[in-house]
A and B are shown apart, each in its own frame.
Chain A
C-alpha cells in the first residue's frame, strides 16, 4: 500500500519551472508513493515575511496551513519555502492561536524533496541516468536552516553518467534573497557573477540545485552573459532516464 504524499509545488515552480514539479512527482510515483496535489495551494507567504509584512504573511500562512492540514507528508521542491513553513510559520502566531498548533503539526511532516528521498523514502539511487559534468549549488536556506548538504550529493552520486565536481564557492549565496534581488540589484548581480566564475572554474556545463529561485538567479545571469551553462533542478536530474 503506497504512502500518500502531497506536493506543495511553490508559486515559482508552478508558474516558471513547472517541469521541476512534474519531475518531482514522477520520481515519487516511481518509488511507489501515491502523489496528490492540493489544488487550493497558492504561496507559502515568504515574500511578504521577508519583506517585513508580517500581517500579510500571516494571512497567507493561515490559508496554506488550512490547505496542508491533514496531509501525511508534504514534499516541496524548494529549501527556502520548506524552511518558511517548517521554521518560520511558528514565529507568526502567538501561543494562544490555533494556527500555531497547526504550524507545529505541519513542521515535522513537511520535507524538502531531497531530504524526503533520503530520510523518508530511504533511497539514494532512484535509477536515474544523466550524462553531464555538473556542479551542485548549496542554496542557503537548505544548507543553513534545514542543514541539507549531503543528501542531494548522495542522490547525485548515484546518477549514471553524471560527473559531479565541487565548486570552491559552493556554499556562497547566489544573491537571490527574494526582494533583495531587485532592491539591491547591483549587489545581487555581482553575487551571481561571482558564483558563475566559480562554476566556470569547475568546467561543468550544468548547475544543479534544489531551489528554483537560486536557479532562476543563476540562469538569468548566465543567459545575460551568453555562457554555455544550463541550470537544472535536482528533481529534473533524478527523473532523467
Chain B
C-alpha cells in the first residue's frame, strides 16, 4: 500500500479509515438560508421562504471561527439561494480571511459583472452555477421561467472576468440525461468544469422523483459516459450505486454521511448529509453547548453511522462490495429499509423492494419552506371558525376532528 493518496476528486477511497469518521468533515455543506428566488421542483431542502430562526451574522462568523479551529479546509455553501442573504459577501470574505475556503452554489441571480470580477480575483472562492437543462426549455421546466437565462448570464460574466474552472452543477434527470455532451460543450465554452449529481427523493424531490429519476437505460448510459469522461467531471461521489455495473467510478465509493460529510442548515441544525433533512438524521444544533465540534465528534447519530454495518438484504449480492447498498437518503425517502437495496439498484433489487413499500409509509421531510402557492386559494381552507363559546379560545377548541 502506498503511503500517500493524492486525489483528483475531493475524496478518494480510504474506506477502512473513513468509515470510522474524521476529526472534522471533508465535505461540509452549509446552507445559509431557506430563502430562494426560485422554486425548483426537485429542491432537496424544500426552500423558498426565509426561516425566522436562521443564524445571525454574528453566529455565522462564530461558526467560521469554529471551522478554523477544527481545520475544516473548505465549506460548500448553499441554500436556498445563499447570495440573497444581505451579509453573504461579508461572510465569504470572513471565511476566506480565516483560512476556510468557500465553494458556493448559486442560480446566478447575483452574479453581476462586478461580482464576477471580484470572485475571479480570489484563490479561496469557487463558484458553482446550478443548471438542470442544456436548453432553456428543459432547464426552465425544472427550475422555473427565466432561470436558464439567469444562469447563462452569470456564466458569461464569470468567463468574461477570467474565472477559470468554475463549476456547472447539473442534477441528472430523465429530462436532461440525454444532454450530457451538450453540458460538457457548455463547460468547455465557458472554461468551466462540469459537475453531475444524482437526483434524490429529498425535499420537494420526493414529489417528482417517480417521473424524473433516470430510466434504467439512462442510468446505464450515464455510467458509461462517466467512465469515459470521469476524470474531468465532478460528481460529488453521488453515483456510487452505479458501481454495481462493474468498474467503480472515481471518488469515494461509500456513503459519507456523518463520516466525512454533513450538513448545517440555516437554523444551525446538523444533519448527516445534505439529502437527509429529516429528524431521523438530525445530530444536533450548532447553538448547543460545545457547538458544531461537539455535534460532529460526539453525537449518538454520527457514532452510529460510523459503526461498521452489515449489508442487510444486500449482503448476499455479488455487487455489494462495489455499491455498498447505495444512498441512505434515497432509500429513506422512498420508504425502503436502510440496510436494503437502493431504489435505483442497478441489479433491479430496488424495484422489487419499492413494490413492497406500503402506501402512506414513506417518510415526509421534516421541514418545508416552500413558497406558498400563488393564485387563488379556496376560501374554506384557513378561514377561521368563530369560537364555539367565548371561553373556548384554546388552540384545541373545536378540533375534535380526525387528522393532524
A binds B: no
